Amino acid sequence: MDQQLTVTFEANRQRLKRLAYRMLGSVSEAEDAVQDAWIRWRRAGEGVTDPAAWLVRATTRLCVDRLRAAKVERAAYKGPWLPEPLIEPLTDDPVEKAEEVSVAFLLALERLSPLERAVFLLHDVFDQDYAEVATTLERSEAAVRQLASRAREHVQDARPRFAVDQARVMQLATAFMTASATADTKALSELLAEDAIMVSDGGGKRSAALRVLVGRADITRLIEGLRWRHGVQTLGDITPVRVNGYPGFLIHLEDGPATFAFEPGEDGKIAAVYAVRNPDKLTHVM
C-alpha cells in the first residue's frame, strides 16, 4: 500500500507544485507545502476515492495557512517584494504559461486575501468547478462565487493581452544589460517604454532600490548613479534563462546571484524589469 500511495502522489506532484507556487510566490515554500501534503497523504491516503481532488484540497489548505501566517512578515519586508523567481531553460516549448507565472500576475495575486487567491487559482487557472472549490475551502458555493468575482476585479489587467515574441524580448534584454553595464542612458531610454517600471528586491540583504522606479527617466537616473558610485561591477557567469515565463538572465555578481526578468510592452519596448537579489529567494539557483 505504501508503494501505491507513493505512485499516486508522484503522479500528482507537479500539479501540486504548480498550484503551491502560484499560491505562495515561492519555489522553496511551494516545495515545503507539497512535502507537508505528502506527509498528510501517507497518513490518510488509504481508502481515498479521489486522490487527485484530496491532494489539491490538502495542498490548498496548507498554502492558505502559510499565507495567513506570513502576513506580518510580508508587511515588514524591507523594500519592494517580488516572488521567488521561477527559472526555466530557454526552450521553444516553455513548461509554464507566461500569463500564469508572470511577475505582474503574481504581484496582482498578492493583493488578494488567501481565500480569494485560492478560489481564483482553483477555478480560473486550474479549471475546477465552483462546487469543487467550495468543498476544498469549506465554504458555500455562493460565497466562493463572490470571492471569485472580487478576485477577478484585482487581477484582470495583470495578464498579458498580446503575444510575446520571445526572440525580440531577449534582444531587448541583452541590449538593456549591455547599456546598464556602461550606463549608456541614451541607449537605455530607447529601450524602455516611457512609463516603464523597475522593481528590485534585495530584502534588506543586498543593495537594491527601496521603491519601485517609475518611468524611463527614473530608471536611467538610478543606473547612472550606481555606475557613478560603484563603477563597473565585475560579472561572473551570465546565463540566459526564462524567468517567470519571460526571457531574462541569471547572473552571478560579486556578492551573489541575481535574476532579471523583462516584460515587454505593446510598443515593442521594455515595459518592466524585475530584479531579485535577496539571497533567501535564490537558494535554488546557488
The reply to whether 203 and 227 lie within a common domain is yes
In a domain, 1, yes or no: yes
Across the chain, mean pLDDT equals 89
In a domain, 121, yes or no: yes
Looking at the 3D structure of the chain, how many domains does it have? 3
Nearest to 176 by CA among 221, 215, 223: 223
The reply to whether 152 and 175 lie within a common domain is no
158-179 pLDDT, tens per residue?
Answer: 666 556 788 899 999 999 998 8
Among the three residues 40, 60, 76, which one is the final residue of a domain in this structure? 76
In a domain, 85, yes or no: no
99-122 pLDDT, tens per residue?
Answer: 788 899 999 999 999 999 999 999
In a domain, 25, yes or no: yes
| Grid coordinates of 18 | 504548480
205-231 pLDDT, tens per residue?
Answer: 998 889 999 999 999 998 888 765 655
Give the CATH number for residue 44. Answer: 1.10.1740
The reply to whether 21 and 60 lie within a common domain is yes
| Greater pLDDT, 220 or 73 | 220
In a domain, 257, yes or no: yes
> What's the domain range around 130?
103-159
The reply to whether 252 and 194 lie within a common domain is yes
Among the three residues 127, 143, 159, which one is the final residue of a domain in this structure? 159
Which pLDDT band holds residue 1 (cuts at 50, 70, 90)?
A: low
The reply to whether 113 and 199 lie within a common domain is no
User: 3-state DSSP: the chain helix, strand, coil percent, rounded to 5?
Assistant: 55, 15, 30
CB-neighbour burial class of residue 278 (10 A; exposed 0-12, middle 13-18, buried 19+) = buried
Give the CATH number for residue 185. Answer: 3.10.450.50
Evaluate whether 55 touches 63 at the Cβ level (below 8 Å): no
In a domain, 49, yes or no: yes
The reply to whether 183 and 269 lie within a common domain is yes
Strand order of the β-sheet with 246-253 is: 87-89, 238-243, 246-253, 256-264, 270-276, 192-201, 213-214
Which pLDDT band holds residue 194 (cuts at 50, 70, 90)?
A: very high
* pLDDT in the model for residue 228: 59
In a domain, 87, yes or no: no
| Greater pLDDT, 37 or 181 | 37
The reply to whether 261 and 176 lie within a common domain is yes
* pLDDT in the model for residue 235: 57
State the Cα–Cα distance between residues 248 and 197, nearest whole angstrom: 16
In a domain, 98, yes or no: no
Give the CATH number for residue 109. Answer: 1.10.10.10
The reply to whether 48 and 122 lie within a common domain is no
Among residues of the chain, what percentage have pLDDT more than 70?
A: 92
* pLDDT in the model for residue 236: 62
